Amino acid sequence: MSALARWWTALVADIADWYPGGVAGLLATLLLGSLLLIAALRWWRQWLAAARRALAAAVRAVGRLGDWVVAFPGRVRRWWLRLLRWRPRWSWRRRPRPAKVPKPAVTIDDRPEAPDDALPELPAEVLLSLADQYAAAGRYREAVRERLRVMIRRLADRGVLHPQPGSTVTELATAAGAALPSADAPLREATRIFSDIWYGGRPATAELDARMRTLGEGL
């Protein structure tokens, strides 16, 4: 046996003396180490790529943390300014009262008595308010009458005609149409609607009331 062989045998015997399991344990460890080395040589590329991904994720996390640290003073300043500008809203603050709807000067319940075909001594605005009140109550017959009275009162206020006591609304409408030719056609139609309802027994409808309103707006 050569000197090198004797040295190797003596070295293995010395290591096996203190190694757990003796020669068998040493051989098992060498075998396991060989297998790990083979696995490392085979899959080192995948492990290296995974390590690189983990390192990149860690770098990004550190970068975001650094950005947050840099922006933190500005955020604190904005929060502080919002706190200084904040004002409490007290629930006991008085709320504005709703606007009151003005009550009509004359209502359909307290209007002065007058013949159905007469022109009462009331302003055009009051007559128009009465017409709207009748229409809202579904009393289109009275609403049509008041709208014809509104037309005649407006023309009288403009000096187109001068109503005489005892004159009917149809007579006044005819006189106004003769005095103002541009108003003759709408007054004739309005008079016909009024006469058909009040004297001819024609049912009064919302459509007829709307037509009377349109004729009155054209004067």
pLDDT tens digit at each of 219 positions of the chain: 577 667 667 666 666 666 666 666 667 777 777 777 777 767 767 777 777 888 888 878 777 776 666 666 766 667 666 776 666 665 555 566 655 555 556 787 777 777 888 899 899 999 999 999 999 999 999 999 999 999 999 999 999 999 888 899 999 999 999 999 999 999 999 999 999 999 999 999 999 999 999 999 987
* Residues 6+ away with beta carbon under 8 Å from 198: 116, 117, 141, 145
Query: Would you list the domain boundaries of the chain?
Result: 3-85, 124-217
Q: What is the pLDDT of residue 165?
A: 85
3-state secondary structure of 165: coil
Contact 212, 193 (CB under 8 A): yes
Q: Rg of the chain's alpha carbons, rounded to an integer?
A: 54
CA-nearest of 171, 162, 108 to 139 is 108
Q: What is the pLDDT of residue 95?
A: 62
CA dihedral for 133, 210, 174, 170, sign (positive or negative): negative
What whole-number percentage of the chain has pLDDT above 70?
A: 69
